[in-house]
Structure 1
């Protein structure tokens, strides 16, 4: 019996996480969407720390250390960029959602001057 590649297990876990995340998000009541978005922004901030660590990788000693370092730095830079877009986009969407609940002040109309006929 031959061993199964660990990539298959990781891919299966990734696919299961996608389904679980989808059903968890769609089962949230509308009143809880703003706190949920705040939590996802916090998770993205943790992800960006990991991406920065990957971008600052030094590598290991070995024949293919140089290639591994550049791949890791490139993937880390891409991950940091995408996480930053996710964070700032999440804050913008949250700000727009909260602006919908603010009371709108009515704009005062200027009084119309009546022309006096002589």
Structure 2
């Protein structure tokens, strides 16, 4: 990696951190739950990426290592997706419980 490419990549990374922070802090609290749910659905793409990566390694002929790596990648991606939806579900249940008890 050339120094120019490295500096450009680091600059882009730092700018994206600042932009993400500014955008998230401007979102009202009532919209955090739908945003989390959408982000969890999008993170399901990581499962597809894990499977594609495993296939690439498998087609290259590295079957034992690619099998182990694919299993780990798919398990971690599934934990991420299922955990995200579980947290979103708990948040929605807390909000629904407050509305029922208060009425």
TM band (smaller chain): 0.5 to 0.7
Tell me what 1:84 maps to: 78
Q: Which residue number corresponds to residue 65 of structure 2?
A: 70
CA RMSD across the alignment: 3.5
- Are the structure 2 counterparts of residues 30 and 17 from structure 1 closer, same or farther at C-alpha, using a change threshold of 3 Å? same
Indicate the residue corresponding to 2:25 in structure 1: 26
**Displacement of 1:19:** 3.9
Q: Identify the structure with the greater helix proportion.
A: 2
For structure 2, list consecutive stretches of 5 or more residues without a partner in the other structure: none
TM-score (norm 2): 0.65
- 1:3-22 alignment runs, 5 A limit: 4=2, 8=6, 11-12=9-10, 13-22=12-21
Structure number with the bigger relative contact order (C-alpha 8 A, sep ≥ 6) is: 2
TM-score by length of 1: 0.59
Q: How many residues align?
A: 97
For structure 1, which runs of at least 5 residues remain unmatched after alignment? 106-118
